[in-house]
Amino acid sequence: MLTVIKRGLSFGLTSGVITTLGLLIGLAASTNSKSVVLSGIIMIAIADALSDAMGMHVSEEEGTHDANRQVWQATFSTFAGKFIAALTFTLPILLFDALIVGVICSIIWSVFLLAIFSWHLARMHKTNAFKVIGEHLLIASIVIMITYFLGTLLKA
């Protein structure tokens, strides 16, 4: 039971951070509008969290789980992890007048969340924490660069 919930939360948290960060960077680069960025974060917190929860639900149904309860636990924990992770990105955007400051704080926040989660994951699996953290932060950096580039390209 706890494993299914942890799997859902892990997936939701990681997906929530990476997806929301990508959307936030892309929208900020293409529109330079706080209201558009905030709207995008809220929309992705709802739509993508529901989508990922549904994906987890179907994935768990296809798995070897006999208990229907475990399928729903994975579904709800995925939704909760993704929804909460995504919504935390509204705070830096709301707290600062300058969008760029909110974006930079969001990047720092995502690095913090991914590093802490990656460290926890590495300890759990008894692997090299620096390797796991580095791998996950490299992926986040690639997302930042690609979405920034696409955002500036779309703005033109």
Q: Scan for tokens 């939704």, then name that residue.
A: 79
131, pLDDT greater than 80? yes
pLDDT (0 to 100) of residue 126: 93
Number of domains in the chain: 1
Mean pLDDT of the region 72-100? 94
Gap between the Cα atoms of 61 and 1, Å rounded = 15
Q: What is the CB neighbour count within 10 angstroms for residue 20? A: 25
What integer pLDDT is reported at residue 61 of this predicted model?
80
Tally of CA atoms within 13 A in the half-sphere of 112 that contains its CB: 9
- pTM (two decimals): 0.88
What domain range is 6 assigned to?
2-155
Q: How confident is the model at residue 63 (pLDDT cuts 50, 70, 90)?
A: confident
Q: What is the pLDDT of residue 50?
A: 93
pLDDT at 6: 84
Q: 146 falls in which pLDDT band (50, 70, 90)?
A: very high
